[in-house]
């Protein structure tokens, strides 16, 4: 995507630049609304709202930054303060919801980083937000982002997800070159750890140690005491603190400031906080993903069976109870099978231990026989 986008950027000749993803669609008046807001507020970056569309489930739902949009920054007005820019950094980085002043991009020499990886919109987002001085948020849903399309490459769970750590270095180099690192270093640390949370859950199990290794290397680029204080603070979620702890353990780091202490929040508390921010539907989806990615293969099979039993439309209480009873039977059966497997494993280990003991006894008896034969030979 980066190569094509950069070609478009260099060829563009208009006052403003916008993007549209090939999988998505937008309202016919989207760019009219964004340009109107740009002219009215003299903004360099103009951001519209959007919704996700799940093609598999045929459902629309709000993006993960919906609360920041509704209850955070002022809408339909000029934004320019440093604290407001730091809040915009936390928005989803996608470029297809935005309009950019072309002169601003060219004066700051802002382009997408090119390479064999995904998520190039992350450094582009950081380049723009840390350099622009004027923004406006247009409080209208202007485009729709398609998710779970058959053949969609962004669903890949292989090592290409580790490209995010290359983007961290790219962003850090940019901040250092533009004398902005000290201003945004805390936000950068929070950003890479928060991204690690979903990468760790999404990536295949055999690559999870690589995720922790990459996070450890990323955090080592910063002052470790400062990075530790940020990742163990209340600004970081429980999952982020856990993964950051693994990363610090990997390099045997302990903070020299004894006043720095981490703390943990229960999973239930984390789910409740998510419910307050994003609602029940989003919370249930995240809980399902959390349980699924941390479960052994037999439990994953049960979760898939449960998904197959869940109703697609409203049904009666009696039908719901029937579905739940089916799920209960499947779960109980799987628990029973797991218990049998555990018991079988214990039995095998016990038998192996007995066999090893018997072998040692036989070896000892063999040595005694050899010693006796040696003595008989000497006597003769």
- 60-68 contacts at long range (C-beta below 8 A, 24 or more positions apart): 60/144, 61/281, 61/282, 62/278, 62/282, 63/92, 63/145, 64/92, 64/278, 64/282, 65/90, 65/91, 65/92, 66/278, 67/277, 67/278
The more confident residue out of 340 and 35 is: 35
Question: Over pLDDT 70: what percentage of the chain?
Answer: 70
Per DSSP, what are the bridge partners of residue 53? 60, 146
Best-predicted range by mean pLDDT (105-119, 127-141, 310-324, 339-353): 127-141
The pTM assigned to this predicted structure is 0.68
Domain 1-155 has CATH 3.40.50.720: no
Best-predicted range by mean pLDDT (76-90, 105-119, 251-265, 316-330): 76-90
The more confident residue out of 321 and 243 is: 243
Averaged pLDDT for residues 190-203 = 93
Give the chain's end-to-end CA distance (angstroms, integer).
90
Look at residue 307 in the predicted model and tell me its pLDDT: 57
Q: Per-residue pLDDT for 150 more than 90? A: no
pLDDT in tens, 155-175: 556 788 898 999 999 999 999
Q: Per-residue pLDDT for 102 more than 90? A: yes
E strands, 169-278, where?
A: none
Give the span between the Cα atoms of 192 and 240, in whole angstroms.
10
Look at residue 142 in the predicted model and tell me its pLDDT: 96
Look at residue 118 in the predicted model and tell me its pLDDT: 77
> At 82, is the pLDDT very low, low, confident or very high (cuts 50, 70, 90)?
very high
Helix (H) or strand (E) holding 202: helix 181-202
pLDDT in tens, 36-70: 999 999 999 999 999 999 988 889 989 988 888 87
Candidate from 25-39, 80-94, 143-157 with smallest mean pLDDT: 143-157
Q: Per-residue pLDDT for 362 more than 80? A: no
The more confident residue out of 113 and 368 is: 113
**Cα dist. 272→165, 244, 286, 289 in Å?**
30, 22, 12, 16
Q: Per-residue pLDDT for 264 more than 50? A: no
Q: Per-residue pLDDT for 312 more than 80? A: no
Q: Per-residue pLDDT for 263 more than 50? A: no
């Amino acid at each position: 995507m980066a190569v094509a986008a950069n070609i478009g950027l260099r060829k563009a000749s208009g006052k403003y630049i916008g993007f549209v993803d090939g999988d998505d669609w937008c309202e016919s008046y989207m760019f009219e609304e964004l340009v109107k807001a740009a002219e009215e507020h003299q903004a360099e970056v103009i951001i519209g709202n959007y919704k996700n569309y799940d093609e598999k489930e045929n459902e629309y739902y709000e993006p993960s930054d919906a609360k920041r949009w509704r209850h955070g920054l002022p809408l339909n007005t000029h934004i320019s303060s440093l604290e407001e820019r730091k809040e915009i950094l936390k928005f989803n980085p996608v470029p297809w919801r935005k309009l950019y002043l072309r002169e601003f991009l060219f004066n700051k020499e802002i382009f997408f980083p090119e390479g064999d990886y995904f998520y190039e919109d992350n450094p582009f987002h950081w380049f723009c937000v840390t350099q622009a001085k004027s923004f406006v948020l247009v409080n209208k849903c202007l485009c729709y982002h398609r998710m779970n399309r058959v053949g969609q490459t962004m669903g890949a769970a292989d090592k290409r997800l580790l490209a995010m750590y290359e983007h961290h270095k790219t962003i850090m180099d940019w901040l250092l070159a533009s004398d902005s690192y000290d201003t945004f270093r805390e936000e950068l640390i929070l950003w890479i750890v928060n991204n690690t949370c979903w990468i760790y859950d999404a990536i295949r199990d055999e690559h999870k140690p690589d995720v922790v290794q990459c996070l450890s290397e990323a955090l080592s680029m910063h002052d470790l005491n400062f990075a530790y204080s940020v990742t163990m603070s209340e600004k970081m979620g429980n999952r982020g603190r856990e993964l950051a702890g693994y990363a610090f353990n990997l390099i045997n780091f302990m903070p020299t400031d004894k006043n720095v202490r981490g703390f943990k929040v229960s999973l239930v508390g984390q789910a409740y906080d998510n419910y307050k921010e994003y609602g029940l539907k989003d919370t249930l989806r995240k809980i399902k993903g959390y349980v699924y990615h941390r479960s052994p293969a037999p439990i994953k099979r049960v979760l898939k069976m449960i998904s197959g039993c869940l109703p697609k439309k409203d049904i009666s209480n009696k039908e719901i109870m029937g579905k739940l009873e089916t799920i209960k039977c499947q779960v109980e059966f799987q628990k029973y099978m797991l218990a049998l497997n555990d018991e079988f494993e214990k039995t095998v280990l016990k038998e192996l231990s007995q066999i090893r003991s018997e072998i040692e006894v036989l070896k000892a008896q063999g040595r005694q026989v050899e010693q006796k034969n040696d003595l008989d030979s000497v006597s003769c």
